[in-house]
Amino acid sequence: MGTAVNVSDVSQAYALPHGHEQEAFGDAGYIGVDRRDEMKREPVKWHVAAKRGKIKTMREGPLKDLMTAVSEPRRRPARGSSIRFML
């Protein structure tokens, strides 16, 4: 499901579950989804990613290292570094 730019994802989360889900996963845009009135009657356990700012303020240690490793986007190869075939 996609939303318009001026509509938050969390406000449309009630339309996502089909009725058989037990768990749902979302990015940081879904923070607070489990506290919304329309979602309280749903038996779905939400797993929502932390915001980057919260991860940055964490104490140094193995938990922060894990959160940083999981949340970093995968890097694409530099432009022009792909394999080129001779014709």
Q: What is the pLDDT of residues 3-59, one digit of tens each?
A: 676 777 777 777 777 778 888 888 888 888 888 888 777 788 888 888 878 888 888
With a cut of 80, say whether residue 80 has pLDDT above it.
Answer: no
Rounded to two decimals, the pTM is 0.57
Query: Which DSSP symbol is given to 23?
Result: E
CA within 13 Å, CB half, 63: 7
Question: Model confidence at 60, in pLDDT bands (50, 70, 90)?
Answer: very high
Q: Which residue has the higher pLDDT, 2 or 23?
A: 23
Cα within 13 Å of Cα(82), Cβ side: 6
